[in-house]
Amino acid sequence: MERNIRAASRDEVPVLDLAPLIEGGDITALAAELDAACRNTGFFYIKNHGVPEMVLNAVFGATRRYFALGPEQREADLMHPTFRRGYMPQGVTKHPGFKADLKESYEVGVDLPLDDPDVVAGTPLHAPNQWSDNLPWLREAAESYFNEMRALGERMLRLAGLAVGMPEEHFLQFNKKPMVQMRLFHYAQQPEAGEAEGQHGAAPHTDYGLLTLLAQDPIGGLELQTRQGEWVKAPYIDGTFVVNIGDMFQRWSNDRYFSNKHRVVNLTGRERYSIPLFYNLDYDAPLECLPSCLEEGEAPRHAPTTVGEYLTGRFKAVQGLKTKEDAA
pLDDT band at 193 (very low <50, low <70, confident <90, very high): low
Integer CA distances (angstroms), 19 to 23, 25, 182, 241, in order: 6, 8, 24, 14
pLDDT of res. 93: 80
Q: Would you say 77 and 49 are in contact if contact means Cβ atoms under 8 Å apart?
A: no
Q: pLDDT per residue over 74-92, tens digit each?
A: 999 999 878 889 999 988 8
Closest CA to 130 of 148, 152, 151, 106: 106
pLDDT category, 200, cuts 50, 70, 90? confident
Lowest mean pLDDT among 151-160, 197-206, 207-216: 197-206
Residues 81 and 322: beta-carbon distance below 8 Å: yes
Exposed e or buried b for every residue in 27-40, given b needs 16+ CB within 10 A? Answer: beebbebbbebbeb
- Measured over the CA atoms of residue 42, residue 44, residue 49 and residue 52, the dihedral's sign is positive
Which DSSP state fits 269?
A: S
Q: Which domains does the chain have, with CATH numbers?
A: 15-327 (2.60.120.330)
pLDDT at 197: 66
Residue 57 Cα distances to 27, 51, 69, 131, 275, angstroms = 29, 11, 19, 20, 11
Instruction: Render 141-205 in DSSP notation, one character per residue.
Output: HHHHHHHHHHHHHHHHHHHHHHHTTS-TTTGGGG-SS---EEEEEEEPPPPTTTGGGT--SEEEE
Handedness of CA 11, 260, 106, 264 (dihedral sign): negative
Q: Is 142 exposed, middle or buried (0-12, 13-18, 19+ CB in 10 A)?
A: buried
Give the span between the Cα atoms of 15 and 192, in whole angstroms.
Answer: 31
| Torsional sign, CA 82, 178, 311, 205 | negative
Using a pLDDT cut of 90, give the percent of the chain over it.
80
**Distance from first CA to last CA of the chain, Å, rounded?**
48
Q: Which residues contact 37 (CB under 8 A, 6 or more apart)?
A: 13, 14, 16, 43, 44
pTM to 2 decimal places: 0.94
Spatial separation of the C-alpha atoms in residues 215 and 189, rounded to whole Å: 19
Short-list 229, 213, 188, CA closest to 99? 188
CA–CA separation, 102 vs 88, rounded Å? 12
What integer is the mean pLDDT of 208-212?
96
> H or E segment at 54?
helix 53-67
DSSP 7: B
pLDDT bracket for residue 2 (50, 70, 90): very low
Q: Please report the pLDDT score of residue 100 as a whole number.
A: 85
